[in-house]
Structure 1
Amino acid sequence: MKLNSIHTCTVSLILESNGKILLLKRPRKKGGNYSLVGGRVEPTESVTHALIREAYEEAGIILQHEDLRMVHAMHRQKNDESIIHFFFHATRWSGTILNKEPEKCDRLEWFEMNELPVNTTSAVMLAVILFQQGITYSEFNWKYPENVWSSAPPAKGLK
């Protein structure tokens, strides 16, 4: 497997209200899983601008920079793609939550943070668990060839 040397950057919003978080459900043809509001960061925008844009495009809400708190960064692999995924937490927004992309999303629903649906994407499930534990960085789903470490120098103190 040859990975692209360019990383994709994505953002997701852990929008919380009364102990519940907002999830969107993808249509069956797109996997039918639950995920967070979010998406890819475009080359011309910052991470927070991308999140603010995605929140409006997908859920019709307006976020302010000062209401966003970066709570987790995940470096993950999906197929042959290296993804750097930033998760932000917010409890304040303006506007009415609505499904603005019905072709990409069946519905938006609130779930208890400790009771996410079993068909929540694994990256989101892990990020929400780690967010609750105060863990701010993780690596997920990496598959290394057997000889990947053979040319690496040993760590100091190890033989």
Structure 2
Amino acid sequence: MELQSVLYVSRSNIDFPNKAYLVGDLVRWSVSWNRRVGITGALAFTETHFSQYIEGPPQAISDLVSKILCDDRHCNVDVIRIAPTIDRTFQDWSLAFSGPDAFTGDHLRPLIERDLEDKALTDQLADKWIRFLKEMAAATQTHI
């Protein structure tokens, strides 16, 4: 089966912690949507930023990216990588979720603050971030 993956980072528009429930709403909607359309992945929230890695059928990924780009819960969506993939990284997860915590933010910061012109560095940081998301998911007991 042909699969596609996308990694992005965005700036949160959520008034945290006053409207923290919006993050929970997003996670619940995403789990339901992802299960229906065959998407797996991980989402991290740091109070100021979101980052998500998603993988699945190309049309489902395209449809979800269109929704992501129009979602007013965040802005400045930086699509870091769109790539075909053979194997799923998050095959057991409709949506692994981490956040909000400083530990996650410390790991995400280098990707947010990277030199946009340095493609090799961006690729290294993206790979490192995806590994972090995978470790975060593995440390979580409940698969959703």
TM bracket (short chain) = 0.3 to 0.5
> By percentage of residues, which structure has more helix?
2
| TM-score computed with the length of structure 1 as normaliser | 0.31
> By percentage of residues, which structure has more strand?
1
The higher-RCO structure (CA 8 Å, 6+ apart) is 2
Q: Which one has the largest radius of gyration?
A: 1
